[in-house]
Amino acid sequence: MLTGGVMPEYLYHRTNGVVGLLERLIEDGCREAIDSGRERLDEELLEGLAIDLRDSDRRDPGAGEVPSVPEKPARRKPRRGRNTVFDDRGPLGTAQEGAR
Going by C-alpha positions, the residue among 20, 23, 25 that lies closest to residue 42 is 25
How many Å separate Cα 74 from the centre of its chain? 14
Rounded to whole angstroms, how far apart are CA atoms 86 and 47?
37
Give the confidence band of 21 by pLDDT, cuts at 50, 70, 90.
Answer: confident
pTM (whole model) above 0.85: no
pLDDT tens sequence across 41-82:
988 999 888 887 666 666 666 665 566 666 666 666 666 677
| H/E run at residue 74 | none
Buried b (16+ CB within 10 A) or exposed e, 12-47: eebbeebeebbebbeebbeeebeeeeeeebeeebbe
